Amino acid sequence: MQRKILLSVVLIIVLMFTAACTPGLWNNNSPPSGGKGNNDVPPAGEEPDTGSEPPVEEPDGYLGIEFTFSPGLNYSVLLEERYDSDEDLFVRHFLRFDGFLHTETEETLTVALPEKFAGRREARAWVLEQRPDKLELVPRTFVVDRVLARWRDEGYDFEHESKNMISLDYLKFIGALTKTNEHFIIYHEPETLESLIKWVADEFLPADPNLHISGNVEIEEQSFMYHISLLLLEDDSADVLVGADVELYYLLTSTGEPEEFSLKASFHDINYLERVDHDELISEIAFFVLALKEELTAYFGISGVRKLEYQNITMMYDIAEGGGGYAEVYQLDH
């Protein structure tokens, strides 16, 4: 029995520091939304279709984005689509990322055309009619802005592609980006942020005579600070079985760019591995900390970030352990 409890506690801690949970998954009710940053950059300008096109250069870091593999997950990037009038080919150029082998490869797929066409639009229309299977993307494919802009400009609805397409937010969520062409901006909406924190507390914060909870919120014109501390004490004593904290602080410029940002979720004074009477309560504490951390990272659009360079800041993620505790931290790389 003691071994079973020990394993369950270890699993809770692993869950807290490695889970990738979708925002709002905790309950059928949805948390308040709003305020998150990461303004989208407008699509790249369209170039005229003049028949045969030169290959796109700089496949890695295309349009200010740098990709990397995501452990345990495969995905692709459609970098280029063009019509090669010299060889009568419809061409698509991909990057393939293997999260199991930790590899990155380039792949060019071509469709032989029976005749010459006026340009890319007409060549694609023939492929759509005669070889639609060639337009289907493999699951989890990100299409860069340049290609999307051309599709929209040419009135192409990309129905064959859409079911397997993923977004830039999805790539951030799975930790597959090291650099993005977005700016990181926080909309200072303290009422919305307080409502989100209250929603998580109402849904998941446990209540028990041995659980001591304290916290505070400080709101300034361009800053927000929040801290909640949980201490689970031994029955009728001051001995701490486990402590947990969630701390958030940001300071913004007048345009919403963060001068300071830190989000920390932590456990400390872990002294309960041989106790069984508080196992369920300890699980509830761990789940509350996990839920609040996940909702806050989703709110700020940093779920899945490991080290991500935006156009204006670099966001860092780290796990620290030792001294009887664990801490998961998101902060700016100054």
> For 26-72, how does the pLDDT look when each residue is reduced to its tens digit (9 = 90+)?
333 556 655 555 443 333 333 334 344 555 444 444 678 999 999 99
The alpha carbon of 239 is separated from its chain's Cα centroid by a whole number of angstroms, namely 38
Phi and psi angles of residue 277, each rounded to the nearest 5 degrees, phi first: -75, -20
Mean pLDDT score across all residues of the chain: 83
* Confidence band, pLDDT 50/70/90 cuts, at residue 241: confident
Nearest Cα to Cα of residue 124 among 78, 77, 164, 83: 83
% of the chain at pLDDT higher than 90: 68
Of 62-66, 136-140, 314-318, 324-328, which range is least confident?
62-66
Q: Global pTM?
A: 0.77
pLDDT at position 240 is: 84
Of 134-138, 210-214, 253-257, 280-284, which range is least confident?
280-284
In three-state secondary structure terms, 230 is strand
pLDDT at position 274 is: 52
* Confidence band, pLDDT 50/70/90 cuts, at residue 15: very low
CB distance 123 to 112 below 8 Å: no
Q: How deeply is 14 buried, as exposed, middle or buried, from its count of CB atoms within 10 A (0-12, 13-18, 19+)?
A: exposed
Q: pLDDT tens digit string along 109-162?
A: 999 999 999 999 999 999 999 999 999 999 999 999 999 999 999 999 998 899
pLDDT at position 63 is: 72
Reported as half-sphere exposure (CB side, CA atoms, 13 A), residue 65 has a value of: 26
Q: How many CB atoms lie within 10 A of CB 133?
A: 7
Average pLDDT over residues 281-308: 94
The residue whose two tokens read 């990272």 is 297
% of the chain at pLDDT higher than 70: 79
Top pLDDT among 278 and 175 is at 175
* Confidence band, pLDDT 50/70/90 cuts, at residue 273: low
pLDDT of 18 strictly over 70: no
pLDDT at position 124 is: 95
Q: pLDDT tens digit string along 65-92?
A: 999 999 999 999 999 999 999 999 999 9
Q: pLDDT tens digit string along 148-202?
A: 999 999 999 998 899 999 999 999 999 999 999 999 999 999 999 999 999 999 9
